[in-house]
Chain A
Amino acid sequence: MRRIGVFVCHCGINIAHTVDVEELTKYASNLNGVVVSKSYKYMCSDVGATLIKDSIKEFNLDCVVVASCSPRMHEHTFREVVSDGGVNPYRLEIANIREQCSWAHSDKEKATEKAKFLIRSAVAKAQLLEPLKTSNIPVIPEALVIGAGIAGIQASLDLANNGFKVYLVEKEPSIGGRMSQLDKTFPTLDCSSCILTPKMMEVANHQNIELFTYSELAGIEGSIGNYKVKIKKKPRYVDLEKCTGCGDCAAACRLKDRVTNEFDMGMGKRGAAYMPFPQAVPLKYTIDSKHCLFLTRGKCGETPACREACAQGAINFDQKEEIIEKKVGAIIVTTGYDLLDPSSLYEYGYAAPDVITTLELERLISSSGPTKGEILRPSDKQKPKSVTFILCVGSRDETQCTWCCRIGCMSALKQVYLLREKLGEELEINLCHTDVRSYGKGYEEFYRKVRGLKTNMFRGRPSEVRDMGAQQKIDIFDTTTNKLFEITTDLVVLVPALVPRSNAVDFARLLHLTLSGDGFLLEAHPKLRPMDTFVNGIFIAGCCQGPKDIQDTVSQASGAASRATTILAKKELEIDPLIAAVDEELCTGCGVCVEVCPYEARILNDKSKIAEVNEALCVGCGACIASCPSNASIHKNFTKKQILNMVDDIL
């Protein structure tokens, strides 16, 4: 006969205000199998825990029912308390009399009656609870980091320095990400490359980091502690061992300066054989198979020019795509962001050559950019005498991107500063803003500095940008002076919204990750678990989770590395036993569960013809239990018998 103890929590006034706790406690003490029934104000506190543990000892309990808040809040807490007290932690049942009772109703009498039913059914289930044991799986002390921008680089270095092997995968030919496209960073005006390249070098030389550039994730299997990943290495057609990065191939390439350079955001050109930027890591060349004449048409002059030019014989057109498999214990996703294409706000005239985005301007400012750092108008290659910034293009906009991009205001201010530096006092700089969000450390000081640089600040959003041919015309109503101004300007810089990567949906599907409403990867909890995801063992950091600046990105990256370390540092992991199991006598081997399982946790054993559960993969979603035609699929401690017992008792 079970000896059940019932503990009812007041939860301050959260429960006690709407439910008569004392009446409940008395009611519970008379239930079948209940040996003792107590109540306390805050059962989750130290005092509450002691109360439970002492009661277990005093009354020799072998099962505990706690009537309190939702199990999502404190089930974990109470399992530990119960375990501490000497009872199997899975002989615990929670009756949710807060979220499902006191918080949902206002009539005290009725609410108390309902709570009685809830406790009663919890006791009924408790009578049949099994003392489950957790099982262990071994952890592979290696990690995969997807995306080698500053977030990926930071996370990789943290993990590698902790002694774990890291596979860093990057889809571009070089690591560095968005930060490598920047000239300077706000608010310190550090040279972006100067602070980034040492880290890039560290990654390249670190004995614990294996770099896969020009590679993508092709597939993933397994679960926390034990993932099997497939990395697709795209062919560069350049032998990385032989290539010295001398550049002769690019100089000789027949398509030199004819292909749009994506690193320069389309402001410049490159050849089919190219290196994305001078400080690339690895410092090797790549041949773009989408444009290369030899690869697309089978013919490049008499013989491919690059192959002729390469003294090392590093060009190899026979290279093929390679799939490499690795086993890792944890994964960190740091895939970054894209900018909204301002064409979706056609009224801002992005179609005109002299209307550009912030990243495009950044490439003009950069000394290694297409104009070698000269600020020249795309239309006539002349220096502009007037530049106008329009902030919030597509941001905070219910018809485009509803969110704030966080970095728009500061990026624009930074570029104002740099333009003033490059083009002198004569340059007219106008900035149209809806707000100036300079929230971070040192940001307000920077904003003040820019205000002192003769920047014409207009508070308002222009309705349109008119292409007048040689110049652009913008009408803006300035709400600070209540006047309509007409700005005639040489160069318009749009600050577009930050959006998820264009392939975010497919990528998320590959990893079983959820997206939030705005399309960025969803964190497990916005305040308390910002780097975790709902897939155990996969963490996210940087802009793939939501727009943020470099310092927040680096913080998150280190945080994600720390989170990953909680897995990697263990030899084994405990598996939650509240998952599916197979009643071997009932199983007919039909295989429905195998098809239905979204986590690929079910297999049909060839020899015994009975279904099996991969305990490492099963998360206990219940799909197989619902679909098994023979009732052979059971959910441990949520069995049909246990639940029917609850129902019978209520009725």
Chain B
Amino acid sequence: MPTEQYAYELSLREILPLLDVELVDIEGFSCCGEPMKSVNQLMTLYLSARNLAIGEKHKLDLFAPCAMCHLALSECKYVLDSNPEMKKRINEMLDSEDLNYHGDKGIVHTVDLLHDYIGIEAIKQHVKKPLKGLKIATHYGCHLIRPSEIGRPVHSENPQKIEEILKALGAETAPYAQKLDCCGASLLANLPESALTKTGQKLKAIQEQGFVALVDVCPWCHKMFDSKQVKAGETVAAKLDIPVLYLTQLIGLAFGLKREKLGLELNLSPVGKLEFG
């Protein structure tokens, strides 16, 4: 992940042990390569392959909390598993780093880890402070839901897993027309103003429909909606004033954990507005 979203990392390191998940930190990982895809696809493939190979070396599945990383890794796995020629080629390159990709380990993201592996019931059991009456908008992020061809953790047109988790936390959810819209992060590198316009437009729509907060599961999306909320507001000439949190932060709050432990001070959007019972 873009190694600056400490809040995401903090909050998930806090809540996952409570849910019986052991996170193993391994040395040697690199960028997944997805941000470089426009420049050199082969490099992206290689970078993801080496990360998968490292995981395999330690006999572990990879947990990719970043949706973009999850996409890169999943796509890499899809290509290498279905194209033996490419697999051979990549393995030849991996050889120089003493690595080899077999394809026997999986990749998991926060959403399916929580919803499918841990399960709603287990989450419900730890809820100490239900988020009563908070109407929260969900943002899945393009890279988490598409392209369904390679297998994504959630449905591409009607994803509901985060809604179900929110319900387990006692919050309210509602569908909204812009739910599947993009945050614009991919254009931050070369066309920042357009990127911010996308962010601003979506936040504006969410605000106008009476949601009190936005929850997301990808560091890129969060960076746009949270850290860049003010700039986005300027770009679309709107006063944006909506709290944006990581799903893991919200879960932590519902579990009764302290705000500092969940990195809430690092959220630049007005999370202080939210009252937690």
A is bound by B:
yes
Binding site for B on A (CB under 8 A): 346-347, 466-468, 473
Asked if B177 contacts A346 (CB within 8 A), the reply is no
Interface: B25 (CB within 8 A): no
* Cα distance, A347 to B180, chains bound together (Å): 10
**A468 x B158 contact (CB < 8 A):** no
Nearest CB in chain A: distance from B206 CB, A: 14
Say which residue of B157, B158, B177 sits within 8 Å of A466 (CB atoms): B177
Chain A nearest CB from B51 CB (Å) reads: 31
Q: In whole angstroms, what is the CA distance A466 to B175 when docked?
A: 11
Q: Are B177 and A468 in contact (CB under 8 A)?
A: yes
**104-158 of chain B: CB within 8 A of chain A:** 157-158
Chain B residue numbers with a CB within 8 Å of A346 are 157-158
Q: Which 8 A-B pairs have the closest CB atoms?
A: A346-B157, A466-B177, A346-B158, A347-B157, A468-B177, A467-B177, A473-B177, A467-B175
Residues of B within 8 A of A466 (CB): 177
B158 — which chain A residues lie within 8 A by C-beta?
346
Q: How far is the CB of A407 from chain B (nearest CB, A)?
A: 27
Where the two chains meet, the residues of B that have a C-beta atom closer than 8 Å to any C-beta of A are: 157-158, 175, 177
Q: How far is the CA of A444 from the CA of B121 in the complex (A)?
A: 61
Q: How far does the alpha carbon of A466 sit from the alpha carbon of B181 in the complex, in Å? A: 11
Beyond A346-B157, A467-B175, A473-B177, 5 additional pairs, beta carbon < 8 A: A346-B158, A347-B157, A466-B177, A467-B177, A468-B177
B71–chain A nearest beta-carbon distance, Å: 20
* Chain A residues, Cβ within 8 Å of B177: 466-468, 473
Q: List 8 A-B contacts (CB under 8 A).
A: A346-B157, A346-B158, A347-B157, A466-B177, A467-B175, A467-B177, A468-B177, A473-B177
Report the bound CA distance from A427 to B158 in whole Å: 32
- What's the minimum C-beta distance from B41 to chain A, rounded to whole angstroms? 24
CA distance A468 to B177 in the complex (A): 6
Cα(A467)–Cα(B157), bound, Å: 14
Residue from the set B158, B175, B177 with the largest chain A CB neighbour count within 10 Å: B177
Q: Give the complex CA separation of A466 and B157 in angstroms.
A: 12
Residues on A with beta carbons closer than 8 Å to the beta carbon of B157: 346-347
**Shortest distance in angstroms between A184's beta carbon and chain B's nearest beta carbon?**
34
Report the minimum CB–CB distance from B158 to chain A (whole Å). 5
Cα A468 to Cα B158 in complex, Å, equals 16
* A324→B158 CA distance, assembly (Å): 48
Q: Which residues of A contact B175 (CB under 8 A)?
A: 467
- Inter-chain CA distance A467–B175, complex, in Å, is 10
Distance in Å from the Cβ of A627 to the closest Cβ of chain B?
A: 39
Chain B residues with CB under 8 Å of A468's CB are 177
Chain B residue with Cβ nearest A465: B177
- Determine the chain B residues whose CB is within 8 A of the CB of A347 once the complex forms: 157
- Complex alpha-carbon distance, A473 and B205, angstroms: 15
- What CA separation (Å) do A347 and B177 show in the bound complex? 11
CB distance from A619 to the nearest CB of B (A): 41
A473 → chain B closest CB, angstroms: 7
Closest to A346 in B: B157
**Separation in Å of the B179 CB from the closest CB of chain A?**
10
Q: Which residues of B contact A473 (CB under 8 A)?
A: 177
Nearest chain-A residue to B209 (Cβ)?
A: A469
B143 → chain A closest CB, angstroms: 18
Q: Report the bound CA distance from A599 to B177 in whole Å.
A: 56
